[in-house]
């Protein structure tokens, strides 16, 4: 690990961590500011949520894959810098134009920057580090992402209380300046002098429209037709990509077992994790009439264990290989979900032991899955691969929220609440059970040579 800790490489890793942290941080910080924003702007909370939260998530979903492909063409450091610039521009716009229209445009601009930054950051871990230390790097990457998502509400509340809600946007700027300064120290990878085909704009638009339709159809019952159109659009996209000179998505990646296994594990675990984060507050509110603060404290058991377990998972992956670590992590996550499903909830504290198991399992699984998936692709397609895994992560989260929308009701009777709770968590447990089989697709050991890169 000495090489990964020395000079420009260490500074690059700090830059990657800061950049990666800003995407989930900006997603969760806004949540606590919405009530104050609604009061100041004289807008309904639902309107603001759709404009500032839903638009942010949908823009991320649509642009992750094109953003990753852009990094393969421009170079991942350049793409990271472009993403940082767009995120900073969106942050400044939100501060200068604190009205509904301006904030909506600003949030979509910030999401565009994030959709370029995150795949580029992930790809840099793949291309800048030797294979034998990638597990640790991806473990630290996962811990930073989890920690920033968990700290978002606390940091957002502190900023809103002290400086007003516009400060949550301005706070991005110094962090982005630090990340940009560190990311561009040291030599960047040289780009090929060969003329590249024109960027696949048609494929990008087809993919974006299809994913947008799918996401809207999954999230809103009255837009189910959009999901159908999204599926048709994905079929058209697949046909187009097979003829494209430089496709946004190279479907040969899906013939690589470790990439498929790692990516699907990430999607299924996000399906279960984000849904649990939203399901538990609804159930606890109906059963125990507790507020968000109490539920948030309980959920820290899961988020905290994820942050603790992720770095260990990275070290174990480098030492024992991805498959063994992922199998242990998937087993713990499944055990935690099954225990949460079967355990009667007499109080909110009864959920803490299962959440600890679930968080430990999720934390142990992320690094080996990501490391194996990214190491299974050629370096010149690492941005594309990172964009695909990020897209699947978002789709998994939205699919989980769709399940909640279909199953959960507002019925206050305790037996109805517990029945719905058991049904929803059984579905999540089924998804986690599938990850056990997918973990077998991961390599037992990282190969001595990974697409031309010899382990050092």
For residue 205, being part of any structural domain is answered with yes
Q: How far apart are CA 57 and CA 112, in angstroms?
A: 10
Per-residue pLDDT, 449 = 47
Q: At residue 108, does pLDDT exceed 70? A: yes
Q: Which two tokens stand for residue 18?
A: 């800061």
Q: In degrees to the nearest 10, what's the CA dihedral of 179, 184, 186, 189? A: 120
Handedness of CA 240, 243, 245, 249 (dihedral sign): positive
Please state whether 200 falls in left (phi above 0), alpha (psi between -120 and 50) or beta: beta
Could you tell me the pLDDT band of residue 292, with boundaries at 50, 70 and 90? low
| Number of other CB atoms surrounding residue 161 within 10 Å | 12
Q: Round to whole Å and give the CA distance between 385 and 372.
A: 12
Cβ within 8 Å of residue 415, ≥6 positions away:
none
Are residue 93 and residue 153 in the same domain, yes or no?
Answer: yes
The per-residue pLDDT of the chain, averaged, comes to 82
Whether residues 228 and 254 fall in one domain: no
Give the structural domain span for 241.
Answer: 201-245
Which neighbouring-strand residues pair with 450?
Answer: 453
Looking at the structure, do residues 260 and 333 belong to the same domain, yes or no? yes
Are 79 and 67 a contacting pair, CB within 8 Å? yes
Contact by Cβ (8 Å): 153, 31: yes
Whether residues 300 and 382 share a domain: the answer is: yes
| Residue appearing with tokens 């187009």 | 240
Helix, strand, coil share of the chain (percent; to 5)? 85, 0, 15
| Domain membership flag for residue 192 | no
pLDDT at 8 (0 to 100): 62
Are residues 208 and 269 part of one domain? no
- The CATH code of the domain that includes 69 is 1.20.1250.20
57 occurs within a structural domain: yes
Domain presence at residue 452: no
Number of domains in the chain: 3
Maximum separation of any 2 CA atoms in the chain, in Å: 68
Same domain, 83 and 68: yes
Q: Are residues 406 and 338 in the same domain?
A: yes
* pLDDT tens digits along 424-445: 999 999 999 999 999 999 998 7
Sign of CA dihedral 94, 95, 96, 99: positive
- For residues 285 and 318, membership in a common domain is answered with yes
Is residue 106 situated within a structural domain? yes
Lowest model confidence (mean pLDDT) among 78-92, 100-114, 233-247, 316-330: 233-247
Residue of 407, 441, 443 whose CA lies nearest to 422: 407
Same domain, 108 and 147: yes
Give the pLDDT band of residue 197 (cuts 50, 70, 90): low
The DSSP 8-state label assigned to residue 54 in this structure reads I
Please report whether residue 189 resides in a domain. no
302 and 419 in one domain?
Answer: yes
Residue 372 lies in a domain: yes
Same domain, 100 and 158: yes
Where does the pLDDT of residue 185 fall: very low under 50, low under 70, confident under 90, or very high at 90 and above? low
146 and 26 housed in the same domain = yes
H or E segment and range at residue 394: helix 382-407
**Per-residue confidence band for 93, with pLDDT thresholds at 50, 70 and 90:** very high
Residues near 33 by beta carbon (within 8 Å), at least 6 away in sequence: 156, 160, 165, 168
Query: 193 in a domain, yes or no?
Result: no
């Amino acid at each position: 690990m000495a090489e990964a800790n020395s000079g420009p490489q260490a500074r690059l890793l700090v830059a990657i961590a800061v950049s990666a942290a800003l995407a989930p941080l900006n997603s969760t910080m806004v949540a606590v500011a919405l009530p104050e924003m609604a009061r100041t702007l004289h807008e309904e909370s639902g309107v603001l949520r759709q404009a500032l939260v839903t638009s942010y998530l949908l823009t991320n979903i649509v642009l992750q894959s094109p953003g990753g492909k852009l990094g393969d063409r421009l170079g991942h450091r350049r793409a990271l810098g472009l993403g940082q610039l767009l995120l900073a521009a969106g942050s400044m716009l939100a501060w200068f134009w604190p009205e509904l229209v301006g904030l909506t445009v600003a949030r979509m601009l910030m999401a565009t920057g994030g959709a370029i930054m995150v795949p580029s950051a992930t790809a840099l871990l793949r291309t800048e580090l030797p294979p034998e230390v990638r597990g640790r790097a991806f473990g630290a990457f996962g811990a930073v992402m989890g920690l920033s998502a968990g700290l978002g509400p606390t940091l957002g509340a502190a900023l809103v209380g002290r400086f007003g809600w516009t400060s949550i946007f301005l706070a991005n700027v110094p962090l982005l300046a630090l990340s940009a300064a560190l990311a561009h120290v040291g030599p960047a990878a040289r780009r090929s002098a060969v003329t590249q085909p024109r960027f696949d704009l048609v494929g990008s638009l087809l993919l974006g429209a299809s994913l947008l339709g799918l996401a809207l159809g999954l999230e809103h019952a009255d837009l189910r037709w959009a999901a159908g159109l999204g599926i048709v659009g994905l079929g058209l996209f697949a046909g187009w990509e097979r003829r494209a000179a430089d496709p946004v998505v190279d479907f040969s990646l899906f013939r690589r077992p470790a990439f498929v296994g790692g990516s699907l594990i990430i999607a299924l675990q996000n399906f279960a994790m984000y849904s649990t984060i939203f399901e538990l507050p609804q159930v606890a509110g109906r059963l125990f009439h507790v507020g968000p603060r109490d539920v948030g404290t309980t959920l820290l058991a899961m988020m905290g264990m994820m942050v603790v377990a992720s770095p260990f998972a990275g070290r174990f992956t480098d030492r024992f290989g991805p498959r063994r670590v992922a199998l242990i992590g998937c087993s713990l996550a499944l055990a935690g979900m099954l225990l949460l499903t079967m355990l009667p909830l007499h109080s909110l504290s009864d959920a803490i032991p299962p959440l600890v198991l679930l968080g430990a399992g999720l934390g142990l699984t992320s690094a080996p899955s990501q490391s194996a998936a990214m190491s299974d692709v050629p370096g010149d397609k690492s941005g594309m691969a990172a964009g695909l895994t990020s897209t699947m992560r978002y789709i998994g989260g939205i699919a989980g929220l769709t399940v909640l929308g279909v199953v959960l009701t507002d019925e206050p009777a305790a037996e109805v609440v517990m029945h719905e709770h058991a049904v929803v968590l059984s579905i999540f447990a089924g998804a986690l059970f599938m990850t056990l089989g997918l973990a077998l697709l991961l390599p037992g050991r990282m190969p001595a040579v990974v697409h031309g890169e010899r382990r050092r």
